[in-house]
Structure 1
Amino acid sequence: MRVRKIATAVATGATLLAGMAVTGQASASVTGDAGTDARFHRQTIDWHGCRTGPDDETGAALDKAGAQCAEVTVPLDYRRPRGRTISVAISRVKATDPGRRRGVLLINPGGPGGSGLPRVLLGRLMPAVAARYDLIGMDPRFVGRSTPIRCRWTTDTPTRSAGPTRRTFDESVALMRELAAGCAQGDRGLLPYASTRNTARDMDVIRAALGESRLSYLGYSYGTYLGAVYTQMFGARADRVVLDSAVDPDVYGPDLLSRNAPAITAALRHWASWAAARDKEYGLGATEAEVLATVEGVDRAAAERPLRVGAYRIGAQHVPYLLFIRLYDDREEAYAGLAAEVRLLADAARGDAVTVPASLKETLDGLFTGSGPAEDRAGTPILCADRATSRDPERYFRDIQAHRADEPLFGPMTRNLSPCAFWPVTPVEAPTTIGNDAPMLIVAADGDPVTPYAGQRAMHRALTGSRLVTLRGAFRHGAYLAAGDTCVDTTVGRYLVDGVLPGGDTACDKAGAPRR
């Protein structure tokens, strides 16, 4: 789970770094190093500039903002700390008010597979927080500038609809098998160690190497699961923790989208109502029902014959994905972009020649050539290492067929199999059971199509010391610093700066007025 541009038997042994699963309260979390080689915690961090070359725009932006970058050495396998090591890339922007500095705030953007290095640039949007904390970005193990897993793919994402027929489902099975083999052809020895539990251990090495006794944390989307796992494993070392757009901890894994179709459909309806009010501009229909009929017509036409969109051929396997990724954001400009793309697809469905706009071309290049961001290529190994899934394609087909009537457009996508069904290795640890009383703040949008609200509330129930702030009437993924909502931003900022949690769960309406 990505926040786009703004988706394990318990290991034992004396050498495992703080790695036993903890299922009780945070006060029982592991706090010792459990035999870890102290050289990782005591290593010296060599800070340097972030730009790696003339074409490195991210590095240039980090340097311009005064950031520093470095690499931290961690064990590949924490059970064998004297074995192979890997590198984890980090960035830092120092607190702007060093006299009032509280500590460090590590920021994770989600994914899994999202690069965290540029997230320190969020400081410009939260100046009061940036004054009190050194902001730390991290490319999790095998992501971005950290030691990579190189999956040989010709697409930047495995997310596809199973389509309308058994034939199209079988085509998706073949693709997932091919993508799994593409990861196995790389450094297969890395795959078993891509888990979130190991990333949480890396975070604790970073905390110690920075000389900090505690770590504050801001995580979005998948980053909420990473943050919850960290509090479960290292609760006494967690300071102020904010989880935005939380995943359901019991669903997270290769099948993380399996329950999403109703939430995506609700978001699509919300957009359709918006588009209907602008029928003179987009010509998609004068009512919500008419706009949805236009969308259904596009999907039906793509199932009959792939749509000619420039050099690309868009089939029924692709249409739901193209809609889904445009529903992450409910702001005016995002909705306008989706309306323009649906208009283009509707024209293509009629057989009209269409010119591909730059924004859609970038998406299609990634979808069909693999030239886009590598988030899913890095994220899929994490999902597969975190939780085992069914390896029987028939199980997925039966599930899709059972839900075609009530989830006709998005069900065949959300319930489809992933490369994890053919993964060459199995998880080496059981999934972390989330359940502790560490104080933290959870931020949610009640119309989130990516991490549905029911799952966010499940995370809140599991973290009994948390407070939940809900942005009501928002059909978006990411609320803090992303929705332009003063109520949410103020509540999060007050917690991070002053340590003040709301007295109970609270709500903000989309206009920003708080209510209980």
Structure 2
Amino acid sequence: MTGPCTLVPGPGDSYRWLVRYRSAFIAALVLGGVLTTSPASAEPGRQRAVSWHSCVIGADDVLGAALEQAGARCGEVSVPLDYGRPRGRTIQVAMARVAATDPARRRGILMLNPGGPGGSGMELVLAGAQMPAVAARYDLIGMDPRFVGRSSPLECRWETDTFVRSAGPDRRTFNESVALANELAAGCTRGNRDLLPYASTRNTARDMDLIRQALGERQLSYLGYSYGTYLGAVYLQMFGAHADRVVLDSAVDPDVYGPGLLSRNAPAIQAALEHWAGWAAGGHGLGTTRREVLERVYRLAARTVHTGPYTVDPHVLPYLLFARLYDDSAGTYEELAEEIRVLEREGPPTPALEAFLAGLSTGAGYSSDRAGTAVLCADRAAGTNPDSYYRDIQAHRGDEPLFGPMTRNITPCAFWPVRPEEAATTIRNTVPALIVGADGDPATPFAGQLAMHRALQGSRMLTVRGRYAHGQYLVAGSACVDGTVERYLVDGVLPVRDTGCRLSGPGRAAVRG
């Protein structure tokens, strides 16, 4: 899906990785529904209450201490495990709340989701210091989605942070991916099989609406990143009458989201790699032209090299590149250049590279994927025949040679022990929303953002032009982006038409040629 600056993105995002990675955020720290046109309840006839208490749950609870210092209170709501049996078994969904700093002008609640799936939302309430005008008007609510973080956590027993790997160059290496996917699926099943059918986004949306009710709110506003945009869109489809102001940042394609959510990403990742190579040309020891830099990367991607105790082979390198290309700042670009130089000479890993590889090979790092995989598999059925994945990879190897074998590779969902309880949600409604994204985003490609915009017919789109990075509001460092989002959240002003921002200035990687 390590420490600050080295967290690894999960398969569909990792806004958590971004917010810890970017210094601007460190201080503050994916049965189609029918649009609800009248007030509806996630669970009619049953009253819920939030049990508020201190956020600290132990002497070494760093997050709890930070939440406490920010003035947050934490609480849980009991929700049905299976909404088809609303009076049956329950689970606990945890949240943190920071009250609006201007109670006299308070508008309501703003629910926050960082993506993943599998990302914890509680820490996002700490971002209030970065958006004071928003924090003045809303109680900030960071919910850990069901089975994530402090919400009855479901953690797959893996010795890796993520299932994402390249299939490599041939059938033998693809078969290694099949074996890994099978092993990881088994690791998620042990002790969790009775929970897996209920890990879906639809159930998380129902939990959100129960929390709205438990807080006594007629409506909720929402800010979601990456996978969180899909969760927000599902909420709009199921409970649109209860939605107030909704911002979806770095939107996923709602028709693709599921086990194959990366399947169309290879061209966007390649474009981001080429942008980085243009930056690296002529001054970073990797070549004097973009083409020379790319050739160095391609040669490395065909090798098996060692750095410290770790092996980097054709399974791993494409994922390392993808992880580093989530951000196009000069600092991140320099880090990737240094890692390429280290791997070429098989020298000792940099601290960031060591943390990355330790998480990948031992599961030592933070990983949204261990919980998020259950969501992917519960939301949409995956193909179960390994041969079909290999044929797809081979059919696209010519035009997607480096990243296609990763984005089209088999996943643990192919070996999942249960099928989705409900059909994937069809997103099609006219509820207003603001969609924000970059046209060079490698994690949620621009074509998928446009698909979300078309599905949400009442939305407006704000596009950051020429940025090859994931996550925009409070991440890109753009007054244009932040101002547009906050005019909507604070004043209710949606752009009258689709619009755009272009970034420039210190910290952005300048590309040569």
The equivalent of 2:4 in structure 1 is none
Contact kept? 1:29, 1:232, Cα under 8 Å: no
Contact kept? 1:29, 1:233, Cα under 8 Å: no
Does residue 447 of structure 2 align to residue 454 of structure 1? yes
The equivalent of 2:405 in structure 1 is 412
Does residue 40 of structure 2 align to residue 32 of structure 1? yes
The equivalent of 2:260 in structure 1 is 255
- Give 3-state SS (helix, strand or coil) of 1:420's partner: helix
The equivalent of 1:15 in structure 2 is none
Does residue 235 of structure 2 align to residue 230 of structure 1? yes
Q: Which region of structure 1 is more displaced relative to structure 2, 458-467 or 50-59?
A: 50-59
Amino acid of the residue matched to residue 301 of structure 1? R
Work out the CA distance in 2 between the residues paired with 1:402 and 1:380: 26
Contact kept? 1:151, 1:183, Cα under 8 Å: yes
The equivalent of 1:312 in structure 2 is 310
Q: Select the residue among 87, 97, 105 that pairs with 2:102.
A: 97
Work out the CA distance in 1 between the residues paired with 2:214 and 2:84: 20
Give unpaired runs (5+ residues) of structure 2: 1-11, 20-29, 506-513
The equivalent of 2:33 in structure 1 is 22
- Give 3-state SS (helix, strand or coil) of 1:47's partner: strand
Q: Select the residue among 313, 332, 335 that pairs with 1:334.
A: 332
- Give 3-state SS (helix, strand or coil) of 2:136's partner: helix
TM-score (normalised: structure 2):
0.92
Work out the CA distance in 1 between the residues paired with 2:54 and 2:302: 51
Work out the CA distance in 1 between the residues paired with 2:262 and 2:159: 22
Q: Select the residue among 267, 286, 289 that pairs with 1:287.
A: 289
Cα deviation for residue 30 of structure 1 reads 6.3
The equivalent of 1:270 in structure 2 is 275
**CA distances 1:423-480 after superposition (whole Å, capped 9, x unpaired):** 0000000000000000110001000000000000000001010000000000000111
- Give 3-state SS (helix, strand or coil) of 1:89's partner: strand
**CA distances 1:125-164 after superposition (whole Å, capped 9, x unpaired):** 1110000000000110000111011311111100000001
Work out the CA distance in 2 between the residues paired with 1:336 and 1:98: 45
The equivalent of 1:444 in structure 2 is 437
The equivalent of 2:465 in structure 1 is 472
Cα deviation for residue 29 of structure 1 reads 4.1
Q: How big is the alpha-carbon RMSD for the aligned residues of Structure 1 and Structure 2?
A: 1.2
Spell out structure 1 runs of 4+ moving beyond 2 A.
28-34, 36-39
Contact kept? 2:381, 2:420, Cα under 8 Å: yes
Contact kept? 2:262, 2:408, Cα under 8 Å: yes
Task: Write the mapping of 1:144-155 to structure 2, written as runs, cut at 5 A.
Answer: 144-155=149-160
Does residue 343 of structure 2 align to residue 345 of structure 1? yes
Work out the CA distance in 2 between the residues paired with 1:95 and 1:33: 25
Work out the CA distance in 1 between the residues paired with 2:422 and 2:368: 23
Work out the CA distance in 2 between the residues paired with 1:301 and 1:462: 43
Q: Which region of structure 1 is more displaced relative to structure 2, 367-376 or 215-224?
A: 367-376
Work out the CA distance in 1 between the residues paired with 2:165 and 2:299: 19
The equivalent of 2:351 in structure 1 is 358
1:143–1:244 CA distance, 2 compared to 1 (3 A): same
Task: Write the mapping of 1:420-435 to structure 2, written as runs, cut at 5 A.
Answer: 420-435=413-428
Task: Write the mapping of 1:18-167 to structure 2, written as runs, cut at 5 A.
Answer: 21-23=32-34, 26=35, 28-29=36-37, 31-33=39-41, 36=43, 38-39=45-46, 42-167=47-172
Amino acid of the residue matched to residue 343 of structure 1? R
TM-score (normalised: structure 1):
0.92
- Give 3-state SS (helix, strand or coil) of 1:38's partner: coil
The equivalent of 1:14 in structure 2 is none
- Give 3-state SS (helix, strand or coil) of 1:169's partner: helix
Work out the CA distance in 2 between the residues paired with 1:316 and 1:131: 49
Does residue 503 of structure 2 align to residue 503 of structure 1? no
Amino acid of the residue matched to residue 295 of structure 2? A
Does residue 225 of structure 2 align to residue 220 of structure 1? yes
Identity of aligned residues (%): 64
Work out the CA distance in 1 between the residues paired with 2:33 and 2:181: 34
**CA distances 1:344-382 after superposition (whole Å, capped 9, x unpaired):** 11222xxxxx22222112111110011111310000000
Amino acid of the residue matched to residue 100 of structure 2? A
Work out the CA distance in 2 between the residues paired with 1:186 and 1:482: 38
Cα deviation for residue 55 of structure 1 reads 2.0
The equivalent of 2:198 in structure 1 is 193
Give unpaired runs (5+ residues) of structure 1: 11-20, 349-353
Amino acid of the residue matched to residue 32 of structure 1? A
Q: Select the residue among 211, 219, 230 that pairs with 1:206.
A: 211
Amino acid of the residue matched to residue 108 of structure 1? N
Work out the CA distance in 1 between the residues paired with 2:130 and 2:40: 36
| Number of equivalent positions | 482
The equivalent of 1:17 in structure 2 is none
- Give 3-state SS (helix, strand or coil) of 1:69's partner: strand
**CA distances 1:258-284 after superposition (whole Å, capped 9, x unpaired):** 00000000000001111114x2xx311
